[in-house]
Amino acid sequence: MKRIGIAARVVYLICFALMANAFGQSGNSIGGHVFGVDRAPLDGITVDLLDEFSRTLSRVRTDSTGRFVFTRLAAGRFRVRVLPLGTNYQEQEQEIEIQNIVRTDSRGNNISSGFDSAQRDFYLRIDKRDEPVSNETIFVQNVPEKSQGLYNEALDLLREKKSSEAFEKLKAAIESFPDYYMAIEVLGLEYANARHYEVARILLQRAVEINPKSFKGWYGLAFALQSMNQNGEAAKAAKQALELNPSSPDAMLLTGTLLRQTKDFQGAESILVKVKKASKKPMPEVYWQLALLYGNNLKRYNDAADELEQLLKHLPKDKDPEKIKLLIKTFREKSKQS
């Protein structure tokens, strides 16, 4: 009876989320797929969108088919950078320029038309300088043939970017086999990427109940819970993910952020400093989280200012450089007064 109740609740929330998706989004977009060895799609890979000044505009993770997408973009020059953190693949990036036709209406207003949908695929190469990293324990289930067929059809639909149809297939697979771990996890991660966090939470909670050693399941669950402001539960899930993959910079950053938010300041500092040292590339969010920790929580104002100085060198678009400079000045002054 418990299985049926969970499945029924998932179906209801999925239907609600699908209705929300039906409204769609307008504007330019950049999307594509990330592939690994033998053209295998890579799930859970971090992809950054940068502007022409190398500022990070957005960050997403690939879905189960290796797909990523950035939407609601203005015209301009961009770079897409694939960061295969916690794997033995090399980073890659590509430059993209989006141009739109602009016409003037009878009132003198400029109207953009002919929105562009740029597609870029990435085929990552093995970094032979590093040893292979394994994030997951193989999990085997005896899946009914019908459910397996629905799941495979869903993956094909996702590759064709037919999300609504794919979700229906995954929903049917879960209805026919409520303990179908892969279908539940894939759908949960998809909904987390689509910002339908309550649906994602229910699905991913079920996924880690079935397979407690799923790194992606625990990480996705932590992300969904954090997005719902359930930071205590999110921190527990993030710690589970970090235990399964201690070398994952993403898991370290999320865990450190959540520890700070739940007032475990020493634990937060330990993990955030570790990820800053371990990361091969600057991670602006790490500098920001350390600045918040030092400035707001530990009252170590000079340390906070130092982190903000680093942030200025790799500033994302959502951070105002003038406000950051003002914060640096404020922290320096507070340090002199303390």
Instruction: Grade residue 108 by pLDDT with cuts at 50, 70 and 90.
Output: low
Amino acid found at 64: S
The structure tokens 């950053």 sit at 253
Highest mean pLDDT among 35-39, 83-87, 111-115, 134-138: 35-39
Instruction: Identify the band that residue 107 occupies on the pLDDT scale cut at 50, 70 and 90.
Output: low
Mean pLDDT of all residues in 16-28: 47
Instruction: Report whether pLDDT(69) > 60.
Output: yes
Within 8 A by CB and 6+ apart from 251, the residues are: 86, 215, 219, 238, 241, 242, 245
Q: Is the pLDDT of residue 63 over 80?
A: yes
Instruction: Give yes or no for residue 247 having a pLDDT over 50.
Output: yes
- 89 against 3, higher pLDDT: 89
The predicted structure's pLDDT at residue 2: 45
If you count them, how many residues does the chain have? Answer: 338
Q: What is the pLDDT of residue 114?
A: 58
The mean pLDDT of 37-66, rounded to a whole number, is: 83
CA distance 50 to 221: 27
Give pLDDT, residue 132: 42
Of the candidates 19, 31, 28, 59, the residue with the CA atom closest to the CA atom of residue 318: 59
Give percent of the chain above pLDDT 90.
48
- Span 117-127, mean pLDDT? 89
pLDDT of amino acid 302: 96
pLDDT at 248 over 50: yes
Listed range (100-114, 155-169, 222-236) with the worst mean pLDDT: 100-114
Q: Could you state, in order of their start, the residue ranges of all structural domains in the chain? A: 145-337
CA distance linking residue 129 with residue 117, whole number of Å: 36
Region 185-199 average pLDDT: 89
Structure tokens at 23: 């409204």
Q: What is the largest CA-CA distance in the chain?
A: 70
The answer to whether the beta carbons of residues 188 and 200 sit under 8 Å apart is yes
CB under 8 Å to 139, separation ≥6 — which residues? 181, 211, 213, 214
- Would you place residue 88 in the very low, low, confident or very high pLDDT band (cuts 50, 70, 90)? confident
Domain formed by 145-337, architecture: Alpha Horseshoe (1.25)
Question: Is the confidence at residue 167, as pLDDT, over 70?
Answer: yes
- In this predicted model, what pLDDT tens digit does every residue of 318-327 receive, in sequence order? 678 899 999 9
